[in-house]
Homo-oligomer: A and B are copies of this chain.
Amino acid sequence: MHMDSTVEPSYSSGSVVSSRRAVALSSRLAASALATEGGVMGNEAFHAWFEERQRSHALQVSRIPFGELRGWGFAPGSGNLRHDSGRFFSIEGLRVRSDYGPVREWCQPIIHQPEIGVLGIAVREIDGVLHCLMQAKPEPGNANGVQLSPTVQATKSNYTRVHGGSAVPYMECFVDPDPRRVLADVLQSEQGSWFYRKRNRNMVVEVGPEVEAGEDFCWVTLGQLGALLRLPDLVNMDARTVLSCIPDWRAGSATANAGLHSDTEIRSWVTTRRARHEIVAEPVPLREAAGWHRSPDAISHESGRFFSIVAVDVSSHRREVPAWTQPLLEPHGLGLAALLVKRIGGVPHALLSARVEPGFLDVVELGPTVQCTPESYAHLPAGDRPRYLDAVLERRPERTLFDAVLSEEGGRFLYARSQYLIVEVDEDFPTAVPEDFRWVTLCQINELLKYSHHLNVQARTLVAGMRTLA
């Protein structure tokens, strides 16, 4: 317990003020979203700056055998792949038994990274318009080297500097911020098929003019970010999840958005799915992950499907960045994350699915309508193909509202890319859906995003995508 530090409360006129502040925030965010030409930096200038960053920060990444990893190795007993210092992350085994889906029991490698990191975007009003402070950041697993990242991406070891590393720029904006200037602060999961109970703290904090953009940083409006989000492999996964946690300036008030289901019904649906599905996911030694084989170059499934664990050597032009090696998870095949949307009673609804992924802390999170790696399903009978996949594959171009191939976390995954799609369906598309699906309004999604572990990371990217729609 920290008995010494006390909080001086900021009470003056309470949440009547908060409520006014929320309305004001909503219109300030909306104004930033409308500023598609940018503020501090126009779009042309942005792209020139970004391309320059891509050139100067490019990483040389090459596959190496596990034997050439420096500082990483397989633990003698368990066969787990971990860093000698115990830092960073490790690759361990997971045994999964579930009552869900076509395959009920399996083993797999999974990434363990128990610390809670911070993904933070600083926002600042410049010339009356809110801007987000974004970073051009290289990661070894990025297909194109540098992507646009949040102000801060820091593991707990990074930012507490327990290991004496260099300071994370702008970290001070996110450690003990003025509570009244915190726009969002919520723990959210990452890929539940690849990470074991990983979550990061997604933060958005408003800062003042004392915060300026360093060389690798820029101030962009929400409108600019919306356009950038539609470009391939540009806005990284961490930036997308933080953006989705910004209070939705488009969602409007609860009563204005008449939904198919009440909020209580939606929450009860989540509870039902969590109570109904049983999943036992037990960490096991990587050596015991049946069906997975380790060669000198990769740990792969005997079928060739799913993903492999590989090793890379990473170096940079820049003298101040020392070379390093690390393991990465390399998915096999392009992922697909698609959201069907439909106006019901004039109100846009998105069709979310209750997904069971073995790495989730709480059994079920809500995902896109369809989330799969189509290649992984090729060997299964047609009845086991994901529901609504056909509706996505047969989409008409004029009803495709969002279509971008985006990268997943390049610090852990090698060339992990997914096609993100938002597809509007016709009025006569069935409103009745199977038990694992529900039509949810944007306003309801906005409420769920205020609480941890309700929307998975793929759904959060699509929420960010929804907010770019006219």
Contact = CB atoms under 8 A, between A and B. Distances in A.
A347 B14 contact: yes
Interface in A166-206: 179-180, 182-187, 201
A387 B8 CA distance: 17
A435 B268 contact: no
A377 interface: no
A275 to B, nearest CB: 5
A451 B275 CA distance: 14
B11 A344 contact: yes
Contact of A258 (B1, B13, B262): B13
Given A2-B434, A434-B5, A262 B180 contact: yes
Interface stretch (A15-23, A299-307, A323-331): A15-23
Contacts of A63: none
Contacts of A347: 14
Interface residues of A, number: 72
B185 A345 contact: no
A133 to B, nearest CB: 19
Each complex incorporates copies of this chain amounting to 2
Contacts of A267: 185-186, 450-451
Given A255-B16, A433-B7, A435-B7, A183 B264 contact: yes
Interface in A68-112: 100-101
Nearest to A353: B1
Interface of A: 1-11, 13-19, 21-22, 100-101, 114, 116, 118, 156, 179-180, 182-187, 201, 254-255, 257-265, 267-269, 271-272, 274-275, 280, 344-345, 347, 361-362, 387, 431-436, 438-439, 441, 450-452
21 contacts: A4-B434, A6-B432, A7-B432, A8-B432, A9-B261, A10-B261, A11-B431, A14-B259, A15-B254, A18-B263, A18-B264, A19-B254, A19-B255, A114-B280, A179-B261, A180-B262, A182-B268, A184-B264, A185-B268, A267-B450, A451-B451
